[in-house]
Amino acid sequence: MASFTNVTPVLAAGIADINPGLTLWAAITFLLLLFVLGKFAWGPIVKLLDEREKTIREAIDSAKQERAEAERMLAEQKESLVHATREAAEIAKRNQQEVEVLRQQLTARARKEADELVAGARKQIVEEKSKAVAELRGMVADLAIDAASRLVKSSLDEKAQRQLVEDYLKQLPVGRA
Amino acid sequence: MIATTLVSIALGLTLAQHDGQAAPAAHEVAAPTEAAHAGGGDGEAAPGETAHAEAAPGEHGGGHGGHDLSLGGVMMHHVSDGYVIEYPGVCGGAFAWNCEWNLRETFGDSLKFGGLDMTPTKHVIMMWLASALLLLVVFSALRGKAIVPRGFYNFVELLVAFVRNEIAIPNIGAADAGRFLPYLLTAFFFILFVNLFGLLPFAATATANLSVTVCLAVLTFLVTQYAAIRAQGIGGYLKHLTAGVHWGLWIIMVPVEVLGLFTKPFALTVRLFANMVAGHFVILALLGLIYAISIWVFPVSVALALAIFMLEIFVAFVQAYIFTLLSALFIGSGLAHHGHDEQAEAHH
């Protein structure tokens, strides 16, 4: 380096000189710093950096996982909700059908019963009527006979009765006697 | 606004260190004496002059410009290393902006080992102060360390995470980044703090000294070679120096590859050094206009110097980033199986 000193005024002023003592001091200072800082500062700091990176990465991973899990659960919930809605609709529909069937059955049975009732009533009416008619007929005959007998008894004397029997006898066929 | 004013004052004070030299130089350069005084000295020039005069004989003889009182000399003095630390304080029984602490006098010859002079210089002291500040900041920040961080720890962790995620892992690979991370982090923070510390008034930038940057570059070089040898084995490492070409071409390729090994740390050395020196030069040149032209240019000078100062704060980060990035890149390329080797093997 000393040979450069004549090249330019700047170098000639001595700032390009190498002072071995200074270089050695710089080396000693630097190595001491390297030892002290490396052992007590850089090591712990870098370790902490690594730890923090790991923590953050894990936090992100677990957050991602939890999110996926939550999404999956949400999808499941949605699916089950849809399922439940469909099922409820089906049940409602089925109930409606059942109610309809039951209604029809009940109606049919009611109608049948009513018909039967009507038919029975009608039959009974007919029976009662015929019985009444028969009874009436008997009574009418008795009344007629009674009336007739009363009428006949009042109008016929012995002579008339004789006449009537003779007429009747005359009317009979001759051959048979 | 308050911050702007404070930085302006700080800049003025930074230059005030040189009043002691600038004031007597008035007859040499165009700067009027009253301008030098107005720049921040205000009567401190006289004791500064005497203090400097006392210190002068003990100073490093390597021509750091301490005796050159021209503007250029002051600028050279500002960025160059020496054994005198100037600081504001009480010396000689009175307060002065430019008290001097002569390290050469304090330590004497006690740290001279043969040809090796280990006497701490101004840049060594500044480097130690910056390192102490770094330790203080990091360890006080560590109290906020938690999985959910608090306070200033967030900022330190931000830088650590930046070096790890943007520099180490992309260039070295996630598997090996952890092994080299302490080196890269220490380099990043060391350069950052030394760069930023140099921007404080009365401080000096140790990274604006080739002796310091060459040390950092050599460390990166050693780490890089270690990584390459560990990854490829000594055989693979030597084989890589031949670039996988026919042995007849080795005479060309081996020197090229060996040269390639050393250009990388050389580039690291010069880049950091030049960037840190340049900013200081520009700021001093802009403020020097006040002395060279007239005191009335100070609004322009201070505004421009302030802008450059802001840029310097940015550059402090950028240079720490670039040095660390290139170190990581070299380590990564040493670890990886080289592209041209594979290409050469494919042709066989």
**Mapped to the 3 state alphabet, what secondary structure does chain B carry?**
CHHHHHHHHHHHHHHHCCHHHHCHHHHCCCCCHHHHHHHHHCCCHHHHHHHHHHHHHHCCCCCCCCCCCCHHHHHHHHHCCCCEEEEEEEECCEEEEEEEEEHHHHHCCCCEECCEECCCCHHHHHHHHHHHHHHHHHHHHHHHCCCCCCCCHHHHHHHHHHHHHHHHHHHHCHHHHHHHHHHHHHHHHHHHHHHHHCCCCCCCCHHHCHHHHHHHHHHHHHHHHHHHHHHHHHHHHHHHHCCCCCHHHHHHHHHHHHHHHHHHHHHHHHHHHHHHHHHHHHHHHHHHHHHHCCHHHHHHHHHHHHHHHHHHHHHHHHHHHHHHHHHHHHHHHHHCCCHHHHHHHHHC
Residues B174 and B312 both lie in one domain: yes
Q: Mean pLDDT across the stretch B265-272?
A: 90
| Distance, C-alpha B10 to centroid of its chain | 19
Q: Does B296 touch chain A (CB under 8 A)?
A: no
Q: Regarding predicted confidence, which is higher, A37 or B7?
A: A37
Which residues of A fall within a CB distance of 8 Å from B211? 17-20, 22-23, 26
B161 and B133 in a common domain: yes
Residues from chain B that touch A25, judged by Cβ atoms under 8 A, are: 118, 120, 124, 127
State whether B108 and B234 are in the same domain. Answer: no
Cα A21 vs. chain centroid, distance in angstroms?
96
Identify the pLDDT of residue A84. Answer: 95
Which of B74, B181, B185 should we substitute to test contact with A (largest number of A Cβ atoms within 10 Å)? B185
pLDDT the model gives residue B9: 53
Do the beta carbons of residue B17 and residue B44 sit within 8 Å? no
- Say yes or no: A23 contacts chain B, CB-CB below 8 A: yes
**Are A45 and B134 an interchain contact pair (Cβ–Cβ within 8 Å)?**
no
Q: Looking at residue B251, what is its pLDDT?
A: 81
Q: What span, in angstroms and rounded, lies between the C-alpha atoms of A34 and B24?
A: 45
Quick check: A4 pLDDT over 80?
no
- Domain total in chain A: 1
Q: Do B181 and B241 belong together in one domain?
A: yes
Asked if B24 and B73 sit in the same domain, the reply is: yes
Whether residues B106 and B216 fall in one domain: no
Whether residue B63 has pLDDT greater than 70: no
What is the reported pLDDT for B240?
77
pLDDT at residue B54 tops 80:
no
Q: Are the C-beta atoms of B85 and B103 separated by less than 8 Å?
A: yes
Is residue B120 within 8 Å of residue B162, measured between CB atoms?
A: no
- Shared-domain flag, residues B174 and B67: no
Is B123:B204 a contact under the CB 8 Å cutoff? yes
Chain A residue at shortest CA distance from B61: A14
Work out the number of other CB atoms within 10 angstroms of the CB of residue B124.
26
- Looking at chain A, the number of H-run helices and the number of E-run strands are 4, 0
What is the full DSSP assignment across A66-94? HHHHHHHHHHHHHHHHHHHHHHHHHHHHH
CB A46 within 8 A of CB B156: no
Closest CA to B71 of B278, B275, B290, B276: B290
In this structure, the answer to whether residues B238 and B325 fall within a common structural domain is yes
Q: What is the pLDDT of residue A102?
A: 93
Looking at the 3D structure of chain B, how many domains does it have? 2
At residue A101, the 3 state secondary structure works out as helix
* Neighbour count for residue B143 (Cβ, 10 Å): 11
Residues B56 and B23 reside in one and the same domain: yes
Residue B170 has pLDDT above 70, yes or no: yes
Q: Which amino acid is at B303?
A: A
In angstroms, the CA B160 to CA B155 distance is 9
Query: Residues of chain A with pLDDT > 70: what percent?
Result: 88
Quick one: pLDDT at residue A73? 95
pLDDT of res. A15: 65
Give the B window 21-80 contacts with A, CB below 8 Å: 62-65, 72, 76, 79-80
By the 8 A CB rule, do A44 and B145 touch? yes
Averaged pLDDT of chain A: 85
Q: Rounded to an integer, what distance in angstroms lies between the CA atom of residue B276 and that of residue B207?
A: 7
Whether the pLDDT of residue B325 is over 50: the answer is yes
Work out the number of other CB atoms within 10 angstroms of the CB of residue A120: 10
Q: Which two tokens stand for residue B49?
A: 């002059």
Kindly give, in sequence order, each residue whose CB lies less than 8 Å from that of residue B198, ignoring residues fewer than 6 positions away.
B126, B130, B204, B205, B206, B207, B208, B276, B280
pLDDT (mean) for A145-164: 77
CA distance B241 to B249: 12
Query: Would you say residue A62 lies in a domain?
Result: yes
| A148 inside domain | yes
Q: Burial, A96: exposed, middle or buried (Cβ in 10 Å; 0-12, 13-18, 19+)? A: exposed
Contacts of A75 by beta carbon, 8 Å cutoff, 6+ apart: none
Q: What is the ipTM of this complex?
A: 0.73
Six-digit token pair at B166? 């943007």
Run of H or E including A176: none
Mean pLDDT of B258-274: 89
Q: Mean pLDDT over residues B228-255, rounded?
A: 80
Count the Cβ atoms, other than its own, within 10 Å of residue B92. Answer: 11
Q: Is residue A173 part of a domain?
A: no
Predicted local confidence at residue A14, as pLDDT: 64
Residue range B132-136: mean pLDDT, rounded: 93
**B173's tokens:** 């690979």
Shortest Cα–Cα distance, A21 to chain B (Å) = 4
Residues B234 and B275 reside in one and the same domain: yes
Smallest Cα–Cα separation from A33: which of B207, B181, B126, B128?
B128
Q: Cα B182 to chain center, whole Å? A: 20
Domain that holds residue B226: 124-347
Q: Is the pLDDT of residue B53 over 50?
A: no
Report residue B166: phi and psi, to 5°: -105, -20
Residue B139 sits in the same domain as residue B278: yes
Does residue A50 belong to any structural domain of this protein?
A: yes
Residue A176 lies in a domain: no
Closest B-chain CA to A39: B182
Flag whether residue B314 sits within 8 Å of chain A, measured between CB atoms.
no
For A23, the domain range is: 2-166
Whether the Cβ atoms of residue B191 and residue B320 lie closer than 8 Å to each other: yes
Domain end call among B63, B96, B120:
B120
pLDDT score at A77: 95
pLDDT at B68: 62
Say whether both B15 and B104 belong to one domain.
yes
Kindly report the length of chain A.
177
The rounded distance, in Å, linking the Cα atoms of A60 and B215 is 45
Q: Measure the CA–CA gap between A172 and B11, rounded to whole angstroms.
A: 183
